[in-house]
Structure 1
């Protein structure tokens, strides 16, 4: 898989300094955060990690997200996806792959979305019957399960 973290830390950290999505379950004893999918040690020690160590974590999270998202949706219009993130001021990493941006968009708005095509993304045929919220929840659950199994 190609290098996903392509911008220098100075450029990317302006908008997003950590993978945190504001829903941390490690405070309740989970070994992996249900929000950002980092290990508890990565959450607790994020600010003590070197830039290289942080980039490695971003890479791992993004690679897993790309794999799972591609099993469920297709990015039909990357520019429209990017425009929607900006239009709704959705927090995202500027160097993230489109699949990660799609998850950011779904995390923020899947409960309100009707037609995913309006956002530059389309469910694969076998998931056409799922609402955007159910589709997001399915992918999010799979990401959590993958993070748990990677931790073991």
Structure 2
């Protein structure tokens, strides 16, 4: 990237989004640093059936996050902030739990232990009524900073 302007793109290793956004954006901070912002990643791939389990959504989202970060020259260890969106389902077994206890959190920690040596960046957890596509239960946004 030779420009000092943000560069938004779609890695070939994650689903192509609607034309309203790109999956990844690299923003130069200073000549030796770049801010990487990812669109919300979900657990579905192009042409794949939407899973019915939030844990499956989370696993797929983390796989897509890893692919996006790699495409931008970053790793999960470079993450500086995370935002998790969890859909209220109407299922009393699921919705009766605190949002942080719905099954995605353990998978996030496993992912960060494996891919980022246990790095725990700040995060925000938000319960929502719905996401972009009916049936989605989980979405995760990530920002990363790479220096050097």
TM-score range, shorter chain: under 0.3
Name the structure, 1 or 2, with higher relative contact order (CA <8 Å, separation 6+): 2
Q: TM-score, normalised by structure 1?
A: 0.25
